[in-house]
């Protein structure tokens, strides 16, 4: 098996950076709060700017925020609250009563200036409750937030996990949420350690984690990251992918990776402006940057 990667080359630490965080499941869903804790524990400066309500499936919709006419999700803010708000004890946890794109836009344009005195170095979205594979990226608010950031010039990653359901921030953290947060931080740190620019212009990463259960894939250490493509290649139309395992010029789809036996996470390289797969050159840039993390699909 040929693959120019070695896990031993992965740096143990990464430089601390400023990160804006969003999702489409809502600011009070447990996955985004768990990721905040994980990234913060890794030394990064993180600000959440996410929808006040669950806005799954809203893609790249964008609309002017409005005052709340009912309580935020999980009663995380009362009815009548303003269009923009934050947690009283943690001002870095912010909601926007609108779509994921609107939320991350506010994070980039307004909150980043307040907390970072400038633009964020990276944008992360998710981890989404449920996978975002193939055609789902066109409808996913998680993907919509990430692609908006990438088009705005901020390197962006969308994270999604196969396991889980809508869960409030104020319960015991499910193991899947911890695993997905640790995996997201691991990939984020690897990308940061690769140096700037973290990603080429208009490029985003769509990352999907396989299922976590009580008996298998119970730890982040169980997972392997595999470079993939979002959509099935079309013969005579889709160009070759970057060469990876066994000199193969066709990457596996992210669906194939996530559905394979074992514990896998797919890493697809997309073009933000159309949400389609990037070409082999851009895939190659990511392959090189994440060379200490990626492996082959068994």
CATH number at residue 85: 3.40.1210.10
Mean pLDDT computed over 45-56: 98
Mean of pLDDT values over 56-85: 98
Cα radius of gyration (the chain):
18
Average the pLDDT over 137-144 and give the result.
98
- 237 belongs to a structural domain: yes
**pLDDT-based confidence at residue 11 (cuts at 50, 70, 90):** very low
Q: Which residue has the tokens 């190659």?
A: 284
Q: What is the mean pLDDT of residues 9-37?
A: 86
| Structure-block tokens of residue 48 | 């959440």
pLDDT at 109: 98
| Number of domains observed in the structure of the chain | 1
What is the predicted pLDDT for the residue at 196? Answer: 97
Among 161-165, 195-199, 244-248, 275-279, the minimum mean pLDDT is found in: 244-248
β-sheet bridge partners, residue 169: none
Residue 12 has pLDDT above 50, yes or no: no
Domain membership flag for residue 3: no
pLDDT, mean of residues 242-258:
90
pLDDT above 60 for 100: yes
Is there a domain that residue 2 lies in?
no
Q: For the chain, what is the mean pLDDT? A: 94
**Does 10 reside within a domain?**
no
* Residue-number span of the structural domain to which 151 is assigned: 18-295
Question: Does 64 reside within a domain?
Answer: yes
pLDDT, residue 214, reads 92
pTM confidence score: 0.94
Q: State yes or no: pLDDT of 2 exceeds 50.
A: no
Residue 244 lies in a domain: yes
């Amino acid at each position: 098996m040929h693959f120019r990667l070695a896990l031993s080359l992965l740096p143990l630490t990464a430089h601390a950076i400023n990160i804006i965080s969003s999702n489409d499941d809502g600011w009070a869903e447990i996955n985004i709060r768990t990721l905040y804790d994980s990234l913060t524990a890794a030394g990064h400066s993180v600000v959440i700017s996410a929808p006040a309500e669950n806005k799954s499936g809203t893609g790249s919709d964008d609309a002017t925020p409005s005052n709340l006419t009912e309580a935020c999700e999980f009663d995380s803010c009362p009815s009548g609250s303003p269009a923009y708000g934050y947690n009283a004890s943690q001002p870095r946890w912010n909601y926007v009563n609108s779509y994921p794109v609107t939320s991350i836009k506010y994070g980039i344009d307004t909150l980043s200036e307040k907390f970072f005195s400038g633009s964020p170095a990276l944008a992360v979205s998710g981890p989404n409750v449920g996978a975002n594979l193939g055609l789902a990226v066109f409808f996913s608010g998680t993907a919509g937030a990430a692609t908006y950031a990438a088009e705005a010039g901020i390197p962006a990653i969308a994270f999604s996990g196969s396991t889980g359901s809508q869960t409030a921030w104020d319960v015991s953290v499910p193991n899947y949420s911890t695993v997905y947060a640790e995996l997201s931080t691991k990939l984020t740190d690897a990308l940061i350690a690769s140096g700037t620019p973290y990603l080429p212009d208009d490029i985003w990463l769509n990352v999907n984690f396989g299922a976590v259960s009580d008996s298998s894939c119970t730890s982040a250490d169980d997972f392997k990251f595999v470079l993939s493509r979002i959509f099935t290649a079309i013969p005579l139309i889709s160009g070759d992918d970057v060469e990876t395992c066994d000199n193969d010029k066709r990457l596996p789809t992210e669906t194939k990776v996530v559905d394979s036996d074992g514990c896998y996470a797919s890493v697809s390289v997309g073009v933000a402006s159309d949400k389609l797969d990037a070409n082999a050159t851009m895939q190659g840039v990511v392959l090189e940057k994440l060379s200490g993390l990626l492996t082959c699909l068994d």
